[in-house]
Amino acid sequence: MNMSMITVAVYCSISSFPSSLRFRRRAFPHLSLSPPSALCFSGLSENIDSGGGGSGGPCIFPLNRCKTIHLVRHGQGIHNVEGDKDYNAYMKPEYFDAHLTPLGWQEVDSLRKDVHDSGLMKRIDLVIASPLLRTLQTAVGVFGGESYTDITDVLPLMVENAGNSNRAAISSLNCPPIVAVELCREHLGVRPCDKRRSISEYQSLFPAIDFSLIDSNEDTWWKADVRETKEELAARGRKFMNWLGTRKEKEIAIVTHRALLLHTLSAFGNYSHPLEKKELSKPFANCELRSMVIVDCVTDRRR
Q: Residues with catalytic annotation? A: 74, 186
Are the beta carbons of 284 and 261 closer than 8 angstroms? yes
Q: Rounded CA gap, 129 and 136, in Å?
A: 6
Q: Rounded CA gap, 88 and 281, in Å?
A: 24
Q: Rounded CA gap, 191 and 276, in Å?
A: 32
Residue 41 Cα distances to 30, 74, 128, 216, angstroms: 9, 28, 27, 42
Q: Rounded CA gap, 72 and 134, in Å?
A: 12
- State the CB neighbour count (10 A cutoff) for residue 4: 10
Pairing of strands 6-9, 289-296: antiparallel
